[in-house]
């Protein structure tokens, strides 16, 4: 997990609960200071999570240091890295515009997928196979932010990822959930905190309670919006018609495997 904002608050909570914590962040200055603050139970690893090899190396180092990884919080996030409405100066009308910088998708979505992928690998090496993953999405997954379309897109992908992975990961004793916080006062939101009334800010304690709920409970595939002191669990949307329902419910891993086995048996019998 990261070393500032939500990541640091969660790290502190985990240390208090007796966990050994690997804080992983691109910001080495903050990360080292925060690890010192938390003492011997915490270690800091400098990493740019958008570089898969760096992220993999951090998992490997944490595994080598402690010999187990039980919980992964994919928590890094940035706001929009580019405008999808470039000015005419940077974008002459006669040529194709330059490719937009999609770092937001790389950090918020692709690196979260890589974290899940790596977590599964290392959880399988634990003596008691399995573990828990919590990804930090955002309330932007439900309520589009006109000022941050890339952020909105990047966070909207996470509930789908969590819901679709949960059944299969469950077979490997891995739980996966996401939390979707409202507005929290951190460095991410520092520039606009002045215009948000204090009463509209979600306290960090609510976020930490949501993390603890998924860490301690047996839920999986859950999408939890956290606003003020409340948690709202969002179910997948209702099927619009029976055709959509049939496709979604029948093209599952289990049913496809059963179908393939039946076809093999038919071929053998022929």
* Interface with ligand NAD (CB under 6 A), residue from 14, 22, 25, 58: 25
Nearer to ligand NAD, 132 or 138 (CB): 138
Strands 131-136 and 174-181: parallel
Q: What is the DSSP letter of 108?
A: I
By the 8 A CB rule, do 204 and 9 touch?
yes
Part of the chain binding ligand NAD (CB under 6 A), chosen from 42-50, 65-73, 166-174, 245-253: 42-50
Q: Is 155 known to be catalytic?
A: yes
Contacts by 29-37, CB closer than 8 A, 24 or more apart: 30/3, 30/4, 31/3, 34/3, 34/4, 34/8, 35/3
Q: Is 151 known to be catalytic?
A: yes
Nearer to ligand NAD, 8 or 122 (CB): 8
Part of the chain binding ligand NAD (CB under 6 A), chosen from 76-84, 215-223, 228-236, 250-258: 76-84
Rounded-to-integer distance, Cα 203 and Cα 168, Å = 34
* Interface with ligand NAD (CB under 6 A), residue from 47, 157, 174, 210: 47
By the 8 A CB rule, do 116 and 135 touch?
yes
**Smallest separation, CB 153 to ligand NAD (Å):** 13
The yes or no reply on residue 136 touching ligand NAD (CB under 6 A) is: yes
* Interface with ligand NAD (CB under 6 A), residue from 42, 58, 73, 107: 107
Rounded-to-integer distance, Cα 251 and Cα 262, Å = 15
Q: Considering only residues 165-224, where is the footprint of ligand NAD by CB under 6 A? A: 181, 183-184, 186-189
User: Choosing from 65, 99, 143, 155, which is the catalytic residue?
Assistant: 155
Nearer to ligand NAD, 173 or 201 (CB): 201
- State the DSSP H helix or E strand holding residue 157, giving kind and residue range, or none if neither: helix 149-170
Taking alpha carbons only, the member of 221, 143, 128, 219 closest to residue 182 is 143
User: Choosing from 151, 200, 228, 245, which is the catalytic residue?
Assistant: 151
Helix, strand, coil abundance in the chain, percent, nearest 5: 50, 15, 35
Active site residues: 151, 155
The contact set with ligand NAD (CB under 6 A) reads: 2-7, 25-27, 47-50, 75-78, 107, 136, 138, 181, 183-184, 186-189
């Amino acid at each position: 997990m990261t070393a500032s904002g939500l990541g640091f608050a969660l790290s502190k909570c985990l240390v208090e609960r007796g966990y050994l914590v690997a804080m992983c962040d691109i910001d080495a200055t903050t990360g080292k200071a925060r690890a010192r603050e938390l003492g011997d139970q915490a270690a800091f690893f400098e990493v740019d999570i958008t570089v898969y090899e760096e992220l993999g190396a951090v998992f490997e180092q944490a595994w080598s240091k402690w010999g187990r990884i039980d919980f992964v919080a994919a928590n890094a996030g940035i706001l929009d890295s580019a405008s999808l409405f470039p000015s005419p100066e940077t974008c002459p009308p006669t040529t194709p515009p330059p490719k937009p910088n999609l770092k937001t998708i790389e950090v918020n979505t692709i690196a979260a997928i890589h974290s899940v992928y790596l977590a599964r690998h290392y959880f399988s090496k634990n003596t008691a196979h399995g573990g828990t993953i919590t990804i930090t999405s955002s309330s932007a997954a439900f309520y589009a932010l006109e000022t941050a379309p890339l952020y909105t897109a990047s966070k909207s992908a996470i509930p789908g990822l969590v819901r679709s992975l949960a059944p299969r990961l469950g077979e490997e004793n891995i739980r996966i959930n996401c939390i979707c916080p409202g507005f929290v006062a951190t460095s991410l939101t520092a520039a606009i905190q002045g215009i948000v009334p204090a009463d509209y800010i979600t306290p960090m304690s609510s976020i930490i309670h949501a993390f603890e709920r998924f860490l301690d409970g047996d839920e999986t595939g859950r999408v939890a919006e956290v606003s003020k002191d409340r948690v709202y669990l969002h179910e997948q949307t209702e099927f619009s018609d029976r055709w959509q329902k049939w496709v979604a419910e029948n093209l599952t891993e289990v049913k496809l495997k059963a179908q393939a086995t039946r076809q093999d048996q038919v071929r053998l019998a022929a």
